[in-house]
Structure 1
């Protein structure tokens, strides 16, 4: 008789957990990381240009208009993320309380209005935040995302069991990043190297 290695979570999703999950999705999808770096690079460059312009021409510099535009774009991006989180919250609340089982066969979700079972092969990687575990599909955007709030676990030991189940079946993004940082001048990873890192 095999031991039961399944873990149960029971929760109603909160806005903070959805917001944390979206941040993790952005940080741990290749396209999200690329977009984040490009935005930071452009922002730093424009910031330097504006600072130099203002230092040379004073407060009458037209660069102040560009600064106002940059601030507006940042505010719009933050508002868009919160609107997306609110939309997902409305959907999750419509489903009601979630009862999720994570086991060797995959993830089963039962709510008042929906029942679903997803096999591990649907997801490609996972990440962990302070409040949630996030599972992402293997596409460059990590478009398919599942958030598992730690609040839904019944004990700290269950969190460790979830980590073990995820690490045994999906790529842990922290391990991949640590291995890349430690590799230094070693050859780049081949297509299967990330799987080896995951099991390390």
Structure 2
């Protein structure tokens, strides 16, 4: 790999969670799954209301089951990003400090136990947030990503260099 922009950082849970959310928002399946979970929750709440308020004998036990199912569906939709981020954070965080070098060919991440090179063909898109650059796979149904926290840059001006390098090499999602 040629000369590029270097980042040195340790994993922070908030950044991993943000990167996971960016990745999920960029996928079609996640938006569909989330809407389906919220829709199922709304249907369960509506069913509970019907059981309680339609003429006839109300069935509080059935209504309570519907409410619990609705809460489970809604909570599951919101907990998946957190649980995914937590799992990744434990794995990434156990490696200690990471060093990333990004150049015209791709990125190289080095930690205590790993040395990984990823070419731009694997991560051809990126999203910039206020705290990081999230590199994404080409397929919107894919799950691959890498993140580069801006706090890992030696100089704040390096964010502009990194952004320019990314703009030359891959596309902004």
Give the TM-score, by structure 2 length: 0.79
Instruction: Encode CA deviations 1:3-35: one digit per residue, 9 max, x unaligned.
Output: x97221110011111111111111012222332
Following the alignment from structure 1 to structure 2, what is the Cα–Cα distance between the partners of residues 54 and 128? 48
User: Are the aligned partners of 2:38 and 2:74 in contact in 1 as well (CA < 8 Å)?
Assistant: no
User: Are the aligned partners of 1:53 and 1:61 in contact in 2 as well (CA < 8 Å)?
Assistant: no
Structure 2 equivalent of residue 145 of structure 1: 145
User: Are the aligned partners of 1:101 and 1:109 in contact in 2 as well (CA < 8 Å)?
Assistant: yes
User: Are the aligned partners of 2:29 and 2:141 in contact in 1 as well (CA < 8 Å)?
Assistant: yes
User: Are the aligned partners of 1:14 and 1:89 in contact in 2 as well (CA < 8 Å)?
Assistant: yes
Structure 1 equivalent of residue 8 of structure 2: 10
Q: Which runs of 5+ in 2 are unaligned?
A: none
Structure 1 equivalent of residue 93 of structure 2: 93
User: Are the aligned partners of 1:126 and 1:172 in contact in 2 as well (CA < 8 Å)?
Assistant: yes
Query: Is 2:18 the counterpart of 1:20?
Result: yes
Structure 2 equivalent of residue 33 of structure 1: 31
Residue aligned with 2:99, SS: strand
Structure 2 equivalent of residue 134 of structure 1: 134
Residue aligned with 2:154, SS: coil
Give how far 1:172 is off: 1.8
Cα distance, 1:20–1:121 mapped onto 2, change above 3 Å: same
Residue aligned with 1:17, SS: helix
Give the TM-score, by structure 1 length: 0.70
Larger deviation: 89-98 or 22-31? 89-98
Report which of the two has the higher share of helix.
1
Question: How do residues 30-109 of structure 1 correspond to structure 2 at under 5 angstroms?
Answer: 30-51=28-49, 54=52, 56=54, 60=60, 62-109=62-109
Give runs of ≥4 in structure 1 deviating > 6 Å. Answer: none
Instruction: Encode CA deviations 1:54-109: one digit per residue, 9 max, x unaligned.
Output: 55467948334212112123334545543332321222123221111111111111
Structure 2 equivalent of residue 180 of structure 1: none
Structure 1 equivalent of residue 157 of structure 2: 157
Greater RCO structure (CA 8 Å; 6+ sep): 2
Residue aligned with 1:123, SS: coil
Structure 2 equivalent of residue 178 of structure 1: none
User: Are the aligned partners of 2:107 and 2:117 in contact in 1 as well (CA < 8 Å)?
Assistant: yes
Following the alignment from structure 2 to structure 1, what is the Cα–Cα distance between the partners of residues 153 and 94? 21
User: Are the aligned partners of 1:5 and 1:161 in contact in 2 as well (CA < 8 Å)?
Assistant: no
Query: How many residues were matched structurally?
Result: 170
